[in-house]
Structures are given as C-alpha cells and as structure tokens.
Structure 1
Amino acid sequence: MSNTLPLIQRVFAALALLVLLAGCATTPPDSVLAVPAPAQKYAAIVVDARTGKQLFEVSSTAQRYPASLTKMMTLYLLFEALESGRVSKQTQIPVSDNAASQPPTKLRFRRGESIDVDSAIRAIVVKSANDVAVAVGEYLGGSEVQFAATMTSKARQLGMTSTIFRNASGLPDDGQMTTARDMAVLGMALRQRFPQQFHYFSESDFMFRGRLVRGHNDMLGRVRGVDGIKTGYIRASGFNIVTSYNADGRNLIVVVMGADSARQRNDHVEALIQRSLSPTMDGAKTRLMFAEQ
C-alpha cells in the first residue's frame, strides 16, 4: 500500500482485509469499512465490556466534542438520584424559562410546566430533548453550571480522565470535550451500575401527552443484539454514537465519533461489530484498558 495514504486510510484498509479473511457471508463491503469522517473529527473504539479489553481503536484518546453523548452522564446522575431515593419516577421536575428556551431538539414546554422523572428519562434517551436535560440539571444541581461541575467530578470517579462537561445537554460549548475511550467507560458504567435502568436505552419511541415521540437511534432493530445506547450530533462534532451489543455471550461497547452522516456512522458501527465478533480476532492485540468500576 502506498505510503502516501493517510494513516487512518491505511488502518482501515487493513481492517477491511481482516474482515475479508474471516470468510463470513455477512461481511460488509470495503466501502462500509472506509473512514466515515475527516481525521480531525473521527475517533472510534470497541471494547469487550465483560473483560475491559480493547478490540479496536483509532484516535480513541484524542479530544472530541461529545454532543448529545453528554446526556449519558446527565442520566447517570439522575439514575443515582433514583437509587438514593432523592427522587422517584413520579417526581415532577419543573421546566424553567431557561430550560424551555434551549434550541431543538426539545419537547417544547410552556411557562410553569413540569415533567415527571420517568418521562424525563425517556425524553432524554429517545428524543435527546435539550430542554428536559437542562431541567434535570437545574433540578439536581441547583443550576446547570453546578450540575456540569458535578458531571465532571463523576467522570473523574469513573476513570474518564479526559472529559470536561460544561452543560447537561451537549449543546455547543468550546470547553466541553471528551474522548471515545471516555465515552466507552461511561457506556460500560451505565450498564454495570444501573442494570435495572438500562432498558431505557433500548427504547425507540415513547408516548408523551397523547402523542408518539420517535427517536434517533437507528441502530436499534438494525443489528441483532444491539440494545442501546445514545446518539449525538452538533456541527463541530459530526455524528457520534455509543452502541451496546449484548448477544450470544458477547457484550461490546462500540463508540464512533465524527461521522459525516448518521447513515455512515451506523454502517461503520455495524462493520466494527462484525469485525469484533469475527473468529479471526481471537488472537488480535488486546489489552486491559479499564479498571472495574
């Protein structure tokens, strides 16, 4: 292969070759394995969530914008509040004028309205509602700024060493940064710490005030074994996703950041899942990356 090719292109050419060597009838075409984003935005990692072993990575410790993957930490802290009894699923969370004024995607509340915790969780997971995420942050933290500080502190406790949160929603903020590795840590922590709540991440729609609200995560139902968890997009980040695969005794966390479109991102995730499940990967380089939470 020509040495003039960018490093990432050479990495994915090798990845395509590995998948082809597997001889699997469901192997995706080389075009699916092509780099789905510019190098300055793209990052990816695949981790065996049962062992913490890294199965694949490109730029997984490079700084990236999380976009709505941020809401995974908002939910982590809300799940903690549920677990401690600070809130119940029936607790009403008031939606302030500030929360209601957030740009879409949102549920669009009027002054003085509130939302119960159960509906808030579904709104954040399925709709990625910015107004609801901010309302949760204000309710739990007293202010969104204070809540973001708590989010960052929790990130450090979980081993997310390169993440700084500035808001509860993931809306653009130059100071809000993370890495693909840190998002994998958070994805694993959500499943391990809150198995009784993880089912929310597999929901693709929910009813709110008599209408059906549909979600953005097209990986649900597309690949057998995928059971969540969260998508994200802002212009600066590109299309991001953290995906959980749990089937046939295998549990993977796949993170792809910076894709040019949702379709490219999803194709790439599917290809990485197939590659990681391939028998030819048994002897591939792996290393223990994450301490048990």
Structure 2
Amino acid sequence: MFAVRNAGKAGFLFLAVLLLYSLFNQAQANPRYASIVLDADSGEVLHASNADATRYPASLTKMMTLYMLFESMEKGLMTLDTAMPVSAHAASMPQTNISLKAGDRLKVRDAIPALIVRSANDVASVVAEALGGTERAFGAMMTEKAKAMKMTSTTFRNASGLPDAGQTTTARDLAILSVRLMKDFPQYYHYFSTQSFTYKGRTYTSHNRMIRNYAGVDGMKTGFIRASGFNVATSAVKDGRRLIGVVMGGQTAQSRDAHMASLLDRGFERATQLAKASPEATRPAANLVVSTDTVRQVVRQEQPVTRAPAVLQRTSQTFPVEQTMITDELGWAVQIGSFRVPEQARERASDAARRLADVELAQIAVSEVEISNRKLFRARLVGLQEGQAKSACQRLSRQGMDCLVVRLSGS
C-alpha cells in the first residue's frame, strides 16, 4: 500500500513537471514571445523571459503617443478642449479607427479615450501631426523621449504601431514606459481603465478584457499586428502593491490574457514572499512637510488643528502647510505617488483624503525626494496604524487610485 501511494505521488509530480516543461517549451517555441513582471514602486523584476529581445510594439506604441500628449498638456501647450485638425493622411489610416474625415477637428478629450479604448490609428496620426508637424517627425520625437527614459532598445517610426520593420522595442522598455505613465502623469492614469466611450453617437468598447476579468487590474493597453502577435501591458494592484506586466507575442488574445493572469498571480506571490523575507523600512525624508489637516477636515474645509506632541514650524512652501515631527505612535502611511511640484502632490493627497472621509487620524504629508537624479515631491497619508493603512489603500485602489502601504522607520 505504501509503495502504491508513493508511486501515485511520483506519477503526479512527473505529470506536473511535464506540464510546466510543455508550457515552457511552448513559450520558447514562439519566436515572438517575451514577458516581464516588475514591482512598480521598487522596480524589482519578479519575472522575465526574453525581456530584452527585439519585438514589434503594435498598438502599445500608442502608450508613448499618449505620454507625449500628456506632457504637452502639462506644459500648457494643449488642454482637453484643444481641437486638433484632421489631415488627409490621418483620415486615410486603416482600422481600427473612428472614421475621421479630412477637415474634421478632434478635441483632446475625445482623442485620449479613442487611443486607449478604440486604439484608433487615425487619432494617433492626428495627435502626431498636432505635436510633431508630421508623423515621421513625431516618431523621431517619440524615439528621443524613449532614450531619455532609458528605453534604450526602442525606436518609433509612427504614432499608431501600424507595421513598420524599423519600429521595435522590448518588453522591458514597455514596462519602463508603463511605470513612467503612472508616475509622471497620475492625474491622467484613470483614462487607462476606461471601458467604453461615445463619439458622434457611436459607442466603442475596449479590447482590454484584463480589466474586467482579473481583480485588481486598472489599466493599461493591448496591441496586435500580424508580425507582433497579441501584446498587452497591464497594471494591477493587490494589498497595496502594484505590479506592471508586459506580455508580447501571444497566439490569441485569450491565451495572452490567460498567460498574463498567471504571471500576475505568481508575481504577487513572489512579491509577498520577498516582502516577508526583507520587510521594507522606509526612512522619513529630511524635508518632510506635513499638513495638520486630518482627512475629515479636508472634507469639511475646517481650520487645521494642531495635534500634540507634534512640533510645528511654518515653511516657505507655496501652499499652506506646517512642518511636523511624526512620532512613532502611528507608524504606517499610504503613499499616493511622487510628483514634480509640491502643489500637485498636495492636490493628489487631498483627493485621496476626500475619498477616505471617515478616517479620522490620517494627515497629509508631502516630502521632497530625489529619484533618478530628479527632485520630486512624494505624497502620503501618514499617522495610521497598519490595519488602517492597508484598508485605506485597498479602498483607494478599488476607486482607481494608485497607492502603496509603507511602514515608517522607527515604528
């Protein structure tokens, strides 16, 4: 009986190994396949397969088109109401499109969902010509931006991802782009979770089924051309941790999505194991600026209340904040993101506070940090207990707001 039982276990183990080997070989046998999963906050790579191999981006190209558009809006060169002219070149773009006609004018507020939901090639050309004069010139601008982001293996020739032998990238580079879209333009990230939009009476539905089918996914983008196979870049949040995944070269949209789901499952499991093995201790920044507005006070618009034993000192920031020494009593925080200007960081933290109106003790904190030789301002809700922080971040994540639970050192 003992021998039979052990033989059964051995047989099961053999079948499991055989299945894994078969799946591995299937991935390796597909010359278009590549994938990567990383932690969006730390940048730690949790999985990589052919991550640096040259691939065709297909419509994931439009993520860079959107980055360039968001950047122009941040610089004040465009607004959501800017109307961009439609040229004959743009109107001639093949499916998928929204049937623009030469001479039309397209507002930025319509272009953004058209690029994300419909993956409209005509809209990509409209944006390219509005920002770069010609689509070829815009491709050069996109490539220059990619190099500046350390996307060293990426070259763009057009704004849509339509076939071009010279338009290539890697899974790793696209993961970098995904992170930069979220970190640099958090105010626009919510667009990537859009499931449908209506233009001129016609409603378009997203091809991105990961958002509907995988709990925690709140964006990004799918893509396909014959040369690339089925591509997808995905962002997902679980227990306050955000992962970025990129899968390229899927045989079908369904198999691509199933593979992405599997990679995310394993990524979250691995990230949890790593966190347990080496718990993060986040050091408070030297220039920590903390508002004494509690979350409930942000909603009520009441006067700030000084909380003992905080030591308060006015600062010269352009927004009314007070510098506070945070005690070890409540040593957990919800990190909202890092921003280029302190006003933007405070605005984003205040938005999070309004969404958590019933959390009494949280305070808005903005700290100056340096990331990749850039001075940024990190927004957090501080003064929380562990359970409060985790619950708050989960609630924000369900509302499409990026966040991370961190433990302050000394707690």
Contact 2:46/2:271 (8 A) holds in 1 = no
Residue 97 of structure 1 is aligned with which of 88, 91, 107? 88
Residue 222 of structure 2 is aligned with which of 220, 223, 231? 231
Q: Deviations over 1:89-146 (max 9, x none)?
A: 0000111100010110000112211110010001000000000001100110011111
In structure 1, the residue corresponding to 2:101 is in which secondary structure?
coil
Task: Report the CA distance shift for 1:280/1:123 in structure 2 as closer, same or farther (over 3 A).
Answer: closer
In structure 2, the residue corresponding to 1:118 is in which secondary structure?
helix
Residue 61 of structure 1 is aligned with which of 30, 33, 52? 52
In the alignment, is residue 111 of structure 1 matched against residue 111 of structure 2?
Answer: no
* Matches of 1:175 and 1:279, distance apart in 2: 36
Contact 2:46/2:270 (8 A) holds in 1 = no
Residue 143 of structure 1 is aligned with which of 113, 134, 148? 134
Normalized against structure 1, the TM-score is what?
0.85
In the alignment, is residue 268 of structure 1 matched against residue 266 of structure 2?
Answer: no
In the alignment, is residue 278 of structure 1 matched against residue 269 of structure 2?
Answer: yes
Contact 2:192/2:219 (8 A) holds in 1 = yes
The alpha carbon displacement at 1:16 in A equals 4.8
Task: Report the CA distance shift for 1:110/1:156 in structure 2 as closer, same or farther (over 3 A).
Answer: same
In structure 2, the residue corresponding to 1:167 is in which secondary structure?
coil
**Partner residue, 2:166:** 175
Give the RMSD, CA atoms, in angstroms: 2.5
* Matches of 2:273 and 2:25, distance apart in 1: 23
In structure 2, the residue corresponding to 1:245 is in which secondary structure?
strand
Contact 2:238/2:268 (8 A) holds in 1 = no
Q: Deviations over 1:49-97 (max 9, x none)?
A: 1100000000000000000000000000000011011001000011110
The alpha carbon displacement at 1:204 in A equals 1.0
* Matches of 2:94 and 2:106, distance apart in 1: 18
Q: Deviations over 1:245-282 (max 9, x none)?
A: 12311100000000100000000000011111125872
Structure 2 counterpart of 1:189, which letter? Answer: R
* Matches of 2:188 and 2:274, distance apart in 1: 35
**Partner residue, 2:366:** none
Contact 1:233/1:239 (8 A) holds in 2 = yes
Consecutive unaligned residues in structure 1, runs of 5 or more: 1-11, 18-29, 285-290
* Matches of 2:265 and 2:247, distance apart in 1: 14
The alpha carbon displacement at 1:207 in A equals 1.3
Identity %: 49
* Matches of 1:72 and 1:15, distance apart in 2: 35
Contact 1:242/1:254 (8 A) holds in 2 = yes
**Partner residue, 1:25:** none
The alpha carbon displacement at 1:210 in A equals 1.9
**Partner residue, 1:78:** 69
**Which of 33-42 and 226-235 deviates more?**
33-42
In structure 1, the residue corresponding to 2:236 is in which secondary structure?
strand
Task: Report the CA distance shift for 1:280/1:220 in structure 2 as closer, same or farther (over 3 A).
Answer: closer
* Matches of 1:120 and 1:275, distance apart in 2: 35
Structure 1 counterpart of 2:104, which letter? Answer: E
Residue 187 of structure 2 is aligned with which of 196, 217, 221? 196
**Partner residue, 2:143:** 152
* Matches of 2:253 and 2:186, distance apart in 1: 27
Residue 177 of structure 2 is aligned with which of 178, 186, 211? 186
Structure 2 counterpart of 1:102, which letter? Answer: M
* Matches of 2:274 and 2:238, distance apart in 1: 21
Matches for 1:11-26 after TM superposition, within 5 Å: 16=20
**Partner residue, 2:120:** 129
Specify which structure has the bigger relative contact order, considering alpha-carbon pairs within 8 angstroms and separated by 6 or more residues. Answer: 1
Contact 1:36/1:265 (8 A) holds in 2 = no
Q: Deviations over 1:27-63 (max 9, x none)?
A: xxx97x8845743100000000110000000000000
* Matches of 2:271 and 2:178, distance apart in 1: 26
**Equivalent residue pairs, number:** 265
* Matches of 1:280 and 1:53, distance apart in 2: 9
Task: Report the CA distance shift for 1:158/1:88 in structure 2 as closer, same or farther (over 3 A).
Answer: same
Contact 2:70/2:188 (8 A) holds in 1 = yes
**Partner residue, 2:200:** 209
**Partner residue, 1:254:** 245
Structure 2 counterpart of 1:181, which letter? Answer: R
Structure showing greater Rg: 2
